[in-house]
Chains A and B, each alone.
Chain A
Amino acid sequence: MFSFIVRRLAVAVPTLLILIILSFMLMFAAPGGPFLSERPPPQQVLDNLNAKYGLDQPYLKQIFDYVVNVVFYFDFGPSFQYRDRTVNDVIAQGFPVTLTYGFWSFVVALIVGIGLGIAAAIKHNTWLDYLAVGVSIGAEMLPNFILAPILLLTFTLALGWLPGGGWNGGEWQYMVMPIIALSTSYMASIARITRASMIEVMNSNFIRTAKAKGLPMRTVIFRHALKPSLLPILSFIGPAFVAMVTGSFVVDSFFSTGGIGVFFVNAAFNRDYAVMMGLTILVGSMTIIFSLIVDILYAWIDPKIRY
């Protein structure tokens, strides 16, 4: 097990390096640059800007300098779009926000999703099952750029219960709508996966045996059926967790939470290469770490798996 973890982490380093090089190549290929505007600055101003940000260097040197700065100084460079801030500032400011609401969305999606899935599976082919399936398909299919304005119109304008946006240091009122908007579709997916695998497990021999022994239903479900039926969810929640804690463009731009989700789109639009790179590395390393964690969890839940 230990050597497996070490091996996986060793692969992570070249993976990240390739990721950096790939992203750099995409950036160099994109038309336009970070300093273009409707009134393009005169050439000497552009030259000054390019010199200041090192964009006048040969491509290889840019990549090399970047890697050196990241590895040795943990410095991701200045943002090209926000002149007063560095990429470290941008991430340090926005990541805690998305981490907070993303984490809670994850918890909500997991609890509600698994609960709904189990309920539907136990009451298989009853109205509760159909309702749960219907709701979760609907929820999975509803794009959150439609859900977000509906939430806003309902909770802020019509009912006046919740503030329409902002973060305010993470007070709960400000988190409710982002969490609903973000968790809904994940919750629906989790519910569907849970339901399907739970139905399968409930029909398996060992559960039949447990039931035949006269164990109470609750014990059967939580002691015996739950753990094996969670296996298929594991491979789903690894990537989902990363996607949720790195935020959502729609949530951040509709609810002005100040999270980093908004940069995944805006950095590409503004050609803010430095921020793009920082986010790519952030997401890339989190993906690597969480897929490792998922694999370890697999081994823990299913003793048959050995690495």
Chain B
Amino acid sequence: MTMQSVAGDVSGAEVIEGRSLWQDAKRRFLKNKAAVVSAFVFLFLCIFAFFGQFLSQYDRETIDFTLMGANAYKGVPSFETGHYFGVDSDGRDLYARTVQGLRISIMIGIVGSLVAGIVGTLYGATAGYLGGRVDGIMMRTVDVLMSIPFMFVLILMLVMFGRSITILFIGVGLISWLDMSRIVRGQTLSIKNKEFVEAAVAIGVSPAKIILRHIVPNLIGVVVVYMSLLVPTMILTESFISFLGLGVQEPNTSLGALLNRGAGALQSGVTTWQFYFPLTVFIVLLFALFFIGDGLRDALDPKDR
């Protein structure tokens, strides 16, 4: 028997044990009514975000010059004109823009938390597993990074590397991996003395493989919970970046950018639908994400009795 297959057997055993944990979690999650409803709402929003544009005859960028500057009375929300959410002050269909803005916001939320999750997990697991001096240095580095005002860094990144959606994804994600790495490290410390890890060490599996194959799968619960709670934070961060004018490039938009322009309309008090439609979508999305995160935590939290 080769070493690999032993390792495989060990991890295989883990998967079986994990499955029952997951089933347990699923049962608990399904009992949480708010979470289940929210999951459906979120699913609906995702479908809306990715397919909603097919319900409208307009796209997000075409300007109707006859409505430009006249949206206060000609661009009101109406089913007759097909502008379900009205038009914005540039004469573009707000429904199409909201759909697209929601799509970007959801993507930023998910991609951002994935970045934070992956970087934070690998970093934290490595530090925790290797321990000793490496751990000390890695965790002090996190301390240093934590004392940097991060909004600064994000702005500088967007300034330095130019504004692109990728940088925004990465930048927003990189802000949040620090907390993640601390949590993961703590969990790793308790896992690394378990028998299955010691067994893998005994048969000479490389540390990188141990971390990826044995430590990380056992952290998934914590990571998923933390990541789901991060999604709304990511969306809020993006909306602040959009408020500063550093968000996605026109003609693309995000919920944050739409809200920011809407807030201006709110103050002028005329075309207030520019505020209320994106705000409604924004709030529904964040509430749904929040309850899902809460439900996942209750379901997966090992402390839960």
Please say whether the chains A and B touch (CB closer than 8 A): yes
Interface residues of A (CB under 8 A from B): 11, 15, 18-19, 22-23, 26-27, 29-32, 137-138, 141, 143, 145-146, 149-150, 153, 239, 246, 249-250, 264-265, 268-269, 276, 279-280, 283-285, 287-288, 291
The stretch from B79-87, B99-107, B187-195, B239-247 touching chain A is: B239-247
Contact across chains for B244 and A149 when beta carbons are under 8 A apart: no
Nearest B-chain residue to A142, judged by Cβ: B283
> How many Å lie between the Cα of A23 and that of B147 in the bound state?
12
Which residue of chain A has the shortest Cβ distance to B266 in the bound complex? A149
Known: A11-B143, A141-B236, A143-B259. A31 touches B159 (CB 8 A): yes
Q: Which residues of B lie under 8 Å from residue A287 when comparing CB positions?
A: 146-147
Check if A276 sits within 8 Å of B232, measured CB to CB: no
**Which 3 A-B pairs give the minimum distances between C-beta atoms?**
A287-B147, A284-B147, A141-B286
**Taking CB as reference atom, which chain A residue is nearest B240?**
A143
Interchain CB contact under 8 A, A143 and B236: yes
B244 contact from A32, A138, A153, A265, Cβ within 8 A? A265
A141–B232 contact, CB under 8 A? yes
B155 at the interface (CB under 8 A from A): yes
Given A143-B243, A145-B263: A18 in contact with B144 (beta carbons within 8 A): yes
Whether B259 pairs with A138 at a CB distance below 8 angstroms is: no
Give the residues from 106 to 134 in chain B that come closer than 8 angstroms, CB to CB, to chain A.
none
Q: Indicate if the CB atoms of A153 and B267 lie closer than 8 Å.
A: yes
- Collect the chain A residues with CB atoms within 8 Å of residue B290's CB: 137, 141
A26 touches B156 (CB 8 A): yes
Q: Are A30 and B160 in contact (CB under 8 A)?
A: yes
Beta-carbon contact of B144 and A15 below 8 Å: yes
Q: Which residues on A sit within 8 Å (CB–CB) of B263? A: 145-146, 149
Q: How far is the CB of A276 from chain B (nearest CB, A)?
A: 7
Cβ of B151 < 8 Å from any Cβ of A?
yes
Is B148 engaged at the interface, CB distance under 8 Å to the other chain? yes
> A15 vs B244: C-alpha distance in the bound complex, in angstroms?
30
Evaluate whether A15 and B286 lie within 8 angstroms (CB atoms) in the complex, with A29-B160, A264-B152, A280-B148 already known.
no
Contact call A141/B140, Cβ cutoff below 8 A: no
Do A22 and B148 touch across chains, with their CB atoms under 8 A apart?
yes
Contact B149 A279 (CB under 8 A): yes
**Cβ-defined contact, A30 with B147, below 8 A:** no
Pick the contact of A30 from B143, B159, B260 — CB < 8 Å?
Answer: B159
Q: What would 6 more interface pairs be, CB under 8 Å, given A246-B149, A265-B155, A268-B152?
A: A11-B140, A26-B160, A27-B156, A150-B266, A280-B152, A284-B148
Nearest CB in chain A: distance from B35 CB, A: 13
Chain A residues, CB < 8 A from B43: none
Q: Which residues does chain A contribute within 8 Å of B196, judged by CB atoms? A: none
CA distance in complex: A87, B254 (Å):
36
Given B153, B260, B282, which contacts A26 in the complex, CB threshold below 8 Å?
A: B153
Q: With contacts A31-B160, A141-B283, A287-B146 known, is A149 near B267, CB below 8 A?
A: yes
Nearest to A23 among chain B residues (CB) is B148
Bound-state CA distance A51–B146 (Å) is: 34
| CA of A307 to CA of B103, assembled, Å | 48
Cβ–Cβ contact A19 & B156, under 8 A: no
Contact A264 B149 (CB under 8 A): yes
Q: Nearest B residue to A286 by beta-carbon distance?
A: B147
Q: A143-B236, A153-B267, A280-B148 are in contact. Are A268 and B283 (CB under 8 A)?
A: no
A74 CA to B152 CA in the complex, in Å?
23
Whether B48 sits at the interface, judged by CB under 8 Å, is: no
Interface centre among B149, B153, B260 (most CB of A within 10 A): B149
Q: Is B173 positioned at the interface, with any CB of A under 8 Å from its CB?
A: no
| B159/A268 in contact, CB under 8 A | yes
Q: Which residues of A contact B148 (CB under 8 A)?
A: 19, 22-23, 280, 283-284
